[in-house]
Amino acid sequence: MTDLHTIAIDDEDKALKAKHRAMWASGDYPALASDLIWPLGPRLVQAVDVRRGDRVLDVAAGTGNAAIPAALRGAIVTASDLTPELFGAGHRNAQEARATLEWVPADAEALPFDDDAFDVAMSCIGVMFAPHHERAAAELVRVTRPGGRIGVLSWTPTGFIGRMFAAMKPFNAPLPAGAQPAPLWGDEQHVRDLFGDRITDIRATRETVRVDRFATGEEFRAYFASHYGPTIAVCNRNADDAERTAALDSALTALGDAAISDHAMEWEYLIFTATVR
């Protein structure tokens, strides 16, 4: 296993994480999570079989769509995220659900928790955005006790959100050295390779969530350009170039139009669960 305590967190890495934090704090991710993907949290909690009394860590928890359902099952939940700006909405969501949990600012690649501290470590469309996949996977294993469970839900490369990132790629900055594309976490073999022989009892299934908010591709584009950090970042990067902005807008609109059928989209994701050896 990678010993992250021997990895130097240099100024370049700090700058990258600061950029990621600002990106996810931009727009209105809490509204997007509530509007579009809230059901994915309970689905992950079910898949990883959270039980009463389990010590659960939700990595890159956002506004709590997995952490809160886990707490409602009677688990002792810690919700962590690189972007604590999201915690205000998370607190409100927890209060409305009458759920009790702890919120801790944390980098998925260098978690501030002891070895074997949790019975379950999970992440719902969160850890996939940590730039260094091997570090993030190693941390999930490190903080989970032997015999404990890991569960990760991620967008697939070939599903709608994976295709959206592919559409934005020509307009985006190159990935930093050592970073990998987020949708790779939705590729079963990639995730198997990340965890290697440190896990057993692997289960991987592809499912979809139905999104019926957008009637047209233009509605989808406008919503993501105002709500979703990664899309906002790409739009801002091209804002001074009218031709590239128009091309980006056209690509996202066409993507949305092609995906809408009967006034809805189906967004594919991978659920990957396993037991730590």
CB 44 within 8 A of CB 271: yes
Which position has the token pair 């019975």? 119
Query: In CATH, which superfamily holds the domain spanning 4-211+268-276?
Result: Vaccinia Virus protein VP39 (3.40.50.150)
d(CA 192, CA 268): 19
Neighbouring residues of 250: CB distance < 8 A, sequence distance ≥ 6: none
Residues 148-202: tens digit of each pLDDT: 999 999 999 999 999 999 999 999 999 999 999 999 999 999 999 999 999 999 9
pTM: 0.96
Amino acid of residue 20: H
pLDDT at 10: 83
Query: What residue ranges do the domains of the chain occupy?
Result: 4-211+268-276
